[in-house]
């Protein structure tokens, strides 16, 4: 495999000729934020968070989809890129109903982590507040469309790794939703093998394990009184 030499943020780096800018940067310890990228799955270049500046090109290029070339000069962290990334994350938040405080993934959420990384203190765009459903028809998992960012990681994991393709995207624009089979409730999707790879692939709390949501963590405080009453009767 031929080697290519390029500079990322002024640092000289050598990479294999078939590597993407993203892979080369990560190997060199330079972090580029991503959302739709997941090691092991194909690239779709949908989230645009990994956009980088390449000398000689006025257009920004997605690092996950750009192969390294000899003498390439890449910048990954300019003010222009930072502004774009923050805008992208804000738009993701504005598009659905992301409420971290009641989310199963809070603290383990890639979207939340990204918001922290890009320094998003508030959202400058008007929230669309779409009317999204929650589907808990599956015995083990649930999907909350309010938290879905349409990264298609579940779609690709199901298709490429499990080889089933239960998931896909229906509709377009703001009406796009991930669906199972012919837009049937997940529990009725006959092709689903309940393998849970979509759960592993989901960057947010959109796909979750049943029993892990805030509403399901019920506590019955009256049991304390029952115990005390029972003890009083006994002694």
What the block records as the tokens of 16 is 């294999």
Of 172, 219, 231, 234, which lies in the binding site for another protein, with binding defined by CB under 8 A?
172
Angle at 164 between CA 158 and CA 165, to 5 degrees: 60
Q: Measure the CA–CA gap between 151 and 44, rounded to whole angstroms.
A: 9
> What are the beta bridge partners of residue 34?
none
What the block records as the tokens of 34 is 């991503």
Interface with another protein in residues 183-202 (CB under 8 A): 183, 191
Measured between alpha carbons, how far apart are the two ends of the chain, in Å? 81
Rounded least distance, CB 126 to another protein, Å: 21
Supply φ then ψ for residue 33, to 5 degrees: -65, 140
- Under the binding rule (CB under 8 A), the answer on residue 130 touching another protein is no
Question: Which of the ranges 23-31, 34-42, 52-60, 168-176 carries the binding residues for another protein, by CB under 8 A?
Answer: 168-176
What the block records as the tokens of 212 is 């892990």
Judge contact between 128 and 93, C-beta under 8 A.
no
Total binding residues toward another protein, as defined by CB under 8 A: 16
Q: Measure the CA–CA gap between 135 and 123, rounded to whole angstroms.
A: 27
Question: Which of the ranges 51-59, 84-92, 176-184, 199-207 carries the binding residues for another protein, by CB under 8 A?
Answer: 176-184
- Under the binding rule (CB under 8 A), the answer on residue 128 touching another protein is no
Of 167, 203, 207, 208, which lies in the binding site for another protein, with binding defined by CB under 8 A?
167
Of 90, 168, 187, 196, which lies in the binding site for another protein, with binding defined by CB under 8 A?
168
Question: Which of the ranges 76-84, 94-102, 172-180, 225-233 carries the binding residues for another protein, by CB under 8 A?
Answer: 172-180
Judge contact between 89 and 66, C-beta under 8 A.
no
> What are the beta bridge partners of residue 144?
134
- Under the binding rule (CB under 8 A), the answer on residue 66 touching another protein is no
Rounded least distance, CB 135 to another protein, Å: 14
Residue 182 vs 230, nearer CB to another protein = 182
Binding site for another protein (CB under 8 A): 159, 164-172, 179-183, 191
């Amino acid at each position: 495999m031929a080697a290519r030499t390029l500079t990322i943020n002024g640092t000289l780096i050598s990479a294999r000729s078939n590597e993407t800018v993203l892979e080369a940067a990560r190997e060199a310890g330079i972090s580029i934020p991503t959302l739709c990228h997941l090691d092991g799955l194909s690239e779709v270049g949908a989230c645009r968070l990994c956009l980088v500046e390449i000398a000689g090109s006025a257009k920004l290029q997605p690092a996950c989809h750009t192969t390294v070339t000899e003498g390439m000069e890449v910048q990954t962290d300019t003010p222009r890129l930072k502004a774009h990334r923050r805008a992208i994350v804000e738009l993701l938040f504005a598009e659905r109903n992301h409420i971290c405080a009641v989310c199963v993934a809070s603290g383990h959420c890639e979207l939340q982590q990204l918001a922290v990384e890009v320094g998003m203190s508030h959202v400058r765009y008007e929230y669309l507040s779409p009317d999204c459903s929650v589907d808990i028809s599956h015995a083990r998992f649930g999907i909350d469309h309010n938290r879905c960012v349409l990264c298609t990681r579940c779609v690709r994991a199901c298709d490429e790794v499990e080889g089933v393709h239960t998931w896909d995207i229906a509709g377009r624009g703001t009406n796009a939703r991930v669906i199972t089979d012919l837009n049937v409730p997940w529990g009725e999707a006959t092709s689903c093998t309940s393998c849970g790879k979509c759960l592993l692939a989901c960057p947010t709390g959109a796909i979750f394990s049943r029993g892990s949501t805030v509403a399901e963590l019920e506590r019955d405080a009256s049991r304390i009184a029952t115990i005390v009453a029972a003890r009083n009767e006994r002694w």
